[in-house]
């Protein structure tokens, strides 16, 4: 299934994509696409619906973040060996964990706001997973049971804030609009193998990232298991799993985003995002 949220920011309604690619409203069946409805029982009930009987969403409706009321937005850095090399950083022995503020979350096609004093704004196409049930001390073998589905994430970053303003990355990761997620939350059964998905990103029509989740170092199941040793993971938590090479920081010379730039990105089976820097 492809679940989504549509409508004005802060007033999104739950939806689902039918076999023809049309958006159908789930109003009356679920209150919203949040952690509370991502358990196996709830998802099975939605699978049983006859989507042709559901009302169509208004044409041209804004697509919001694919998950609402996110409790934690966790990211894994340097999780592609070739991206670590282009960044001049050593591949970590364990996952490099940081967080993005949940206030950074926005819709997949919303404008990206360049922060005040920003000089090195960058892009990162990433595969994100969404937790479906509470995970505490789970093994890698059972971790996939805790993943409700996957979505596209653009881990927008301000490199000067991230790397030149102290030792913590979070300052360069959590600015408003720095976390577009969606358009769809695609359930795990429809994605299949998450470690074999093509990924790409373009700026102003030029392709900079052209990679695959095949080169991911720490795989989604391992990441869920690993994180659950340090904190409980709640339904609706979003975990973004790293980016392949081709970020602006890694260009020679580096290339950074400016007002007016247009970003397009996508992941196989998970659809695309399109943003403008303002």
And the tokens for 270? 């998970």
Instruction: Look at the block and give the residue holding tokens 């397009």.
Output: 264
The answer to whether the beta carbons of residues 122 and 115 sit under 8 Å apart is no
What pLDDT is recorded for position 6?
A: 98
Spatial distance between the Cα atoms of 162 and 248, rounded to a whole number of angstroms = 14
And the tokens for 201? 């990103």
Place 53 in a pLDDT band, splitting at 50, 70 and 90: very high
Q: Is the pLDDT of residue 87 over 90?
A: no
Given this structure, which CATH class describes domain 73-276?
alpha beta
pLDDT digits (tens, 9 = 90+) for 231-267: 999 999 999 999 999 999 999 999 999 999 999 999 9
156-3-5 Cα angle (round to 5): 65
Spatial distance between the Cα atoms of 228 and 87, rounded to a whole number of angstroms = 28
Average pLDDT over residues 188-195: 97
Residue spans per domain, the chain: 2-53, 73-276
Say whether 266 sits in a helix, a strand or coil: strand
Task: Report CA-CA distances (Å) from 152 to 29, 42, 165, 174, 186.
Answer: 25, 23, 28, 17, 10
And the tokens for 226? 């690993």
Average pLDDT, the chain: 96
Q: Is the pLDDT of residue 75 over 80?
A: yes
pLDDT digits (tens, 9 = 90+) for 135-169: 999 999 999 999 999 999 999 999 999 999 887 78
Main-chain phi, psi angles of 86, to 5 degrees: -65, -25
How many percent of the chain have pLDDT more than 70? 100
Spatial distance between the Cα atoms of 172 and 249, rounded to a whole number of angstroms = 13
What pLDDT is recorded for position 152?
A: 98
What pLDDT is recorded for position 120?
A: 98
What pLDDT is recorded for position 188?
A: 97
Q: Is the pLDDT of residue 81 over 90?
A: no
What pLDDT is recorded for position 168?
A: 78
pLDDT digits (tens, 9 = 90+) for 14-49: 999 999 999 999 999 999 999 999 999 999 999 999
């Amino acid at each position: 299934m492809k679940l989504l949220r549509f409508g004005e920011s802060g007033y999104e309604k739950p939806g689902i994509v039918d076999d023809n690619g049309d958006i159908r409203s789930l109003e009356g069946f679920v209150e919203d696409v949040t952690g509370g409805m991502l358990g196996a029982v709830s998802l099975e009930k939605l699978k049983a619906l006859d989507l042709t009987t559901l009302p169509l969403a208004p044409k041209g409706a804004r697509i919001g973040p694919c998950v609402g009321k996110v409790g934690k937005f966790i990211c894994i850095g340097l999780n592609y060996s070739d991206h670590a090399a282009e960044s001049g950083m050593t591949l970590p022995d364990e996952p490099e964990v940081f967080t993005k503020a949940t206030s950074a979350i926005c819709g997949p096609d919303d404008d990206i706001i360049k922060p005040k004093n920003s000089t090195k704004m960058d892009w990162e196409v990433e595969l994100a997973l969404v937790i479906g049930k509470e995970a505490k001390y789970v093994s890698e073998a059972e971790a996939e049971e805790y993943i409700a589905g996957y979505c596209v994430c653009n881990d927008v970053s301000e490199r000067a804030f991230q790397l030149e303003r102290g030792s913590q990355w979070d300052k360069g990761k959590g600015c408003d609009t720095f976390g577009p997620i969606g358009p769809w939350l695609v359930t795990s059964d429809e994605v299949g193998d998450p470690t074999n998905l093509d990924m790409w990103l373009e700026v102003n029509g030029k392709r900079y990232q052209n990679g695959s989740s095949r080169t991911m170092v720490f795989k989604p199941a391992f990441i869920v298991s690993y994180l659950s040793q340090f904190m409980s993971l709640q339904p609706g938590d979003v975990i973004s799993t790293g980016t392949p090479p081709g970020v602006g920081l890694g260009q020679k010379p580096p290339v950074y985003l400016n007002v007016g730039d247009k970003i397009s990105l996508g992941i196989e089976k998970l659809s695309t995002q399109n943003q403008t820097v303002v």
